[in-house]
Amino acid sequence: MREVAIIIAPLFLIIFASAFVQSIKKVGDSWSSVLNSFALNIGLPALIFLALYKSAFNFLEKADLIIANSVFLLGSFVLVYFLGKLLRFGPKLLRTLFICFTFGNFAYLGIPILTQVLGNEILPTAGLIIAVYSFWLFTVGIGFLDYSIQEVKKHVFKNALNNLVRNPLLLAVFFGILASTLGIVIPDILLKSIEMLAVSVTPVVLIIIGLFIGNTKIGSLKEWIPVVAFSILTLLALPAVFFYGVQVFGFAPKYFSASLIEIAMPLAITPFALADKFDLEKKFIARAIVLSTILSAFTIPFWISLL
């Protein structure tokens, strides 16, 4: 575990250094906004597209990966919904937990950690996992939020479809697989430009996470109790369910190593951006992002060491 911690330590060093700079210098929200736009719309799509374009992609070979991640994510949605109803959570809290429970930081933090630990050859698999998660999160996940606040329910399907076709990460996966399958040859000058964008994105996304942490108010101790419970569930309990679940079906956990590492990621920033639109618990989300990211510096090496 010590060796794993040393491997991923530089990533968390960038995050916490950025958080420190933000806390004492207050570089401003404009930094986060610009960097986030670049990473989401240009950098990460370039990285995913490039990885898929350079690989010989075969859906049949990845069928187990697609099914396992889909079943896990959909099962998590069902679990949160029924637990929320059983424990009589209010509509606002139920919406918040429904979208946050499985919305890990699988792109911004997941890709840098996977490539640091498993090398660049894991990128096609990581891109596919991101595509699976993005598909279900932006259909079932966002669809549930939309359905729960909309008075006119007939627009829910249309809104979910719009979320999919406008998702840069999903589009990168689609065009990357298409270009690889059809054997499309991209001119060297364009390919080198895409490679430059792909190389630049890792430090950018780590800085974004750090700036967010450094800009979050601490609050009272009482407010952190449910956040601690949430972080333990998502960083330890959920990965444990997947880790032992795949063994029940006869698979070795190492076969799904990329999936397990992605599931062990802390809460992503995206739910915070959705909080106002879908009336979510904004303070809870902000604190959950901060605490789960800090704790993940210790829990992620633990899960990787098991593999």
What CATH number is associated with residue 7? 1.20.1530.20
156 burial class (0-12, 13-18, 19+ CB within 10 angstroms)?
middle
Which pLDDT score, from 0 to 100, does residue 227 have? 92
Which pLDDT score, from 0 to 100, does residue 152 have? 54
User: Three-state DSSP class for 186?
Assistant: coil
Determine the average pLDDT of the residues in 170-186: 84
Tokens of 162: 């719009």
Give the chain's domain count.
Answer: 1
CB crowding 193-226: b at 16 or more within 10 Å, else e: ebeebbeebbebbbbbbbbbbbbbeeeeeeebee
Determine the average pLDDT of the residues in 259-273: 89
Closest alpha carbon to 298 in 235, 238, 253, 237: 235
Q: What percent of the chain has pLDDT over 70?
A: 93
How far apart CA 184 and CA 240 sit, in angstroms, is 41
Determine the average pLDDT of the residues in 118-138: 86
Determine the average pLDDT of the residues in 243-271: 88
pLDDT greater than 90 at residue 78:
yes
Contact 230, 36 (CB under 8 A): no
Chain mean pLDDT for the chain: 84
Determine the average pLDDT of the residues in 199-207: 83
Torsion angle (degrees, nearest 10) of CA 218, 222, 223, 229 = 110
Cα distances (Å, whole numbers) of residue 17 to 11, 25, 96, 209, 220: 10, 12, 29, 11, 24
Q: Among the residues of 88-187, which ranges form H helices?
A: 91-100, 110-118, 123-136, 142-149, 156-165, 168-182
Determine the average pLDDT of the residues in 72-77: 94
Q: What's the pLDDT band for 126 if we cut at 50, 70, 90? A: confident
Give the domain extent around 18: 2-306
Tell me which of 189 and 174 has the higher pLDDT. 189
pLDDT greater than 70 at residue 28:
no
Which pLDDT score, from 0 to 100, does residue 153 have? 56
pLDDT greater than 80 at residue 4:
no
Which pLDDT score, from 0 to 100, does residue 50 have? 84
